[in-house]
Chain A
Amino acid sequence: MTLSVTDLAITRGGVPVLEGLSFALEPGRALILRGPNGIGKTTLLRTLAGLQPPLAGRVDGAEDTIAYASHSDGLKPTLTVAENLQFWASVFGAKSIQTALDAFALNDLADRHAGNLSAGQKRRLGLSRLLVTGRPIWMLDEPTVSLDRNAVAMFADAVRGHLGQGGSALIATHIDLGLDGEVLDVGPYKAKPKPIDDFDGGFL
């Protein structure tokens, strides 16, 4: 499943942030999004995930193919690790959560309440959700926040495995994951501020 983006323009809070953005994401490839804070990486990912409409341009191949992981993990503190993961597995129609537990070394924590986990453990649980979605395109927003070096390696392995099975990934991150993916710097696509129209000039 190829994701192709043509001449996309996106807004945050009604203000255009990126415009004229085009790229294609082929199966088996990873694309790393770079750019300064506030440039619109999160907004781009939310737009591609279908959470908000683009201002202009086309997104093809994103319908029901995207597994989105935002800054927050969507965990319920009073459910256990296994229950949290099992819920998403049922929603996405996955049979077993065992591979996901194994990939992020969550087996020992399976019966702990998610509210008692450390920040990094929560993040690992949040990322393990990607493995039960069965969706071909992963969209990850700063996935390595609060992960230690081991967990980052676990995550990079999971992404590599996903790419190896013909999936693809779009990752907004500032650290080097050791993945052989192209880097897309969205900085040059920054939307130009519109000239302030002079609607009250005559009055003044």
Chain B
Amino acid sequence: MIALLLRDLKLAFRAGGGFGLGLAFFLIVTVLVPFSVGPQSSLLATIAPGVLWLGALLACLLSLDRLLALDWEDGSLDLLATAPLPLESVVTIKALAHWITTGLPLVLAAPVLGVLLNLPGPGYFWLVVSLALGTPALSVIGTFGAALTVGLKRGGLLLSLLVLPLYVPTLIFGAEVARRGATGMETATPLLMLAGITAATIALLPFASAAVLRVNLR
């Protein structure tokens, strides 16, 4: 399992691995927002938590279509399925590698980009907390979507259509934590809901992902 994680990280950091792609996309989306809504700092402060969350979510989506498709194309998914590793742990490790290369950099970059959107002072802490809690769910749900569409030619668009609705609960509660934190309100309720969603997806979805992968490999 460690070997698979290390291999996926190595592949992501080497040429053509796509590391930093999501991060650059996040940066560009955040920079474009003031151009489109205007430079009023009070308006930007209001929408900053939601925009940052939406940007992080779309950046996460960007790299999902290569999550399993590359392994499927070169045949290593077949070989992994016949290896001693259970497919459930293969998809969990793949989701973890995706989170480390995509989700974690977004969490770390979000406060810097918050400055660009005039995020109110107390919001930075809650933004980082909500993203740190929510992005693992995005990776796990995304892996499920990637498992559903593996083997389809041009499955990327279908993948987005399948995954985006599943991202809605995470987005609602994650953005709510950041918004309440930025305005100095109580954050416990949405934070617990967000943590619950993440815990449930991590506990249940790998089994679903492995099951659909088995069907898709036939």
Using a CB–CB distance below 8 Å, which chain A residues touch chain B? 46, 49-53, 64, 66-68, 70-76, 78-79, 83, 86-88, 90-93, 129
Is B15 on the interface with A (CB-CB < 8 A)? Answer: yes
Cα A50 to Cα B75 with chains together (Å):
15
Q: Which residues of A contact B15 (CB under 8 A)?
A: 78
Given A64-B84, A78-B15, A91-B84, A52 contacting B217 (CB threshold 8 A): yes
Closest 5 CB pairs of A and B: A72-B75, A90-B3, A74-B76, A52-B218, A78-B14
Cα A171 to Cα B134 with chains together (Å):
48
Asked whether B85 lies within 8 Å of A76 as measured between CB atoms, the reply is no
- Interface residues on chain B, number (Cβ under 8 Å): 25
Is B24 on the interface with A (CB-CB < 8 A)? Answer: no
Q: A67's closest neighbor in chain B, by CB?
A: B82
Q: Which residues of B contact A46 (CB under 8 A)?
A: 78
Asked whether A74 lies within 8 Å of B11 as measured between CB atoms, the reply is no
Q: B81's closest neighbor in chain A, by CB?
A: A51
A-B contact pairs, 12 of them (CB 8 A): A49-B82, A68-B79, A71-B75, A74-B74, A74-B78, A76-B11, A76-B76, A78-B11, A83-B10, A88-B79, A91-B4, A91-B83
Contact code string B66-97 (vs A, CB < 8 Å = 1, else 0): 00000100111111111111000000000000
Asked whether B75 lies within 8 Å of A87 as measured between CB atoms, the reply is no
Q: How far is the CB of B102 from chain A (nearest CB, A)?
A: 18
Q: Which residues of B contact A129 (CB under 8 A)?
A: 79
Q: A49's closest neighbor in chain B, by CB?
A: B82
Contact of B79 among A53, A70, A79, A86 (CB under 8 A): A70
Contact of B3 among A52, A66, A91 (CB under 8 A): A91
Is B50 on the interface with A (CB-CB < 8 A)? Answer: no
Cα A46 to Cα B4 with chains together (Å):
23
Cα A86 to Cα B77 with chains together (Å):
17
Main secondary structure of the interface of B (DSSP, over half): helix
Is B165 on the interface with A (CB-CB < 8 A)? Answer: no
Cα A75 to Cα B73 with chains together (Å):
10
Contact code string B51-75 (vs A, CB < 8 Å = 1, else 0): 0000000000000000000010011
Cα A23 to Cα B26 with chains together (Å):
58
Asked whether A74 lies within 8 Å of B7 as measured between CB atoms, the reply is no
Is B17 on the interface with A (CB-CB < 8 A)? Answer: yes
Q: How far is the CB of B20 from chain A (nearest CB, A)?
A: 15
Q: Which residues of A contact B38 (CB under 8 A)?
A: none
Q: Which residues of B contact A83 (CB under 8 A)?
A: 7, 10
Q: Which residues of A contact B3 (CB under 8 A)?
A: 86-87, 90-91
Cα A43 to Cα B109 with chains together (Å):
48
Q: Which residues of B contact A90 (CB under 8 A)?
A: 2-3
Cα A70 to Cα B11 with chains together (Å):
22
Cα A140 to Cα B116 with chains together (Å):
57
Contact of A92 among B2, B7, B81, B84 (CB under 8 A): B84
Asked whether A70 lies within 8 Å of B84 as measured between CB atoms, the reply is no
Contact of A74 among B10, B79, B217, B218 (CB under 8 A): B79
Q: Which residues of A contact B82 (CB under 8 A)?
A: 49-51, 66-68
Q: Which residues of B contact A91 (CB under 8 A)?
A: 3-4, 80, 83-85
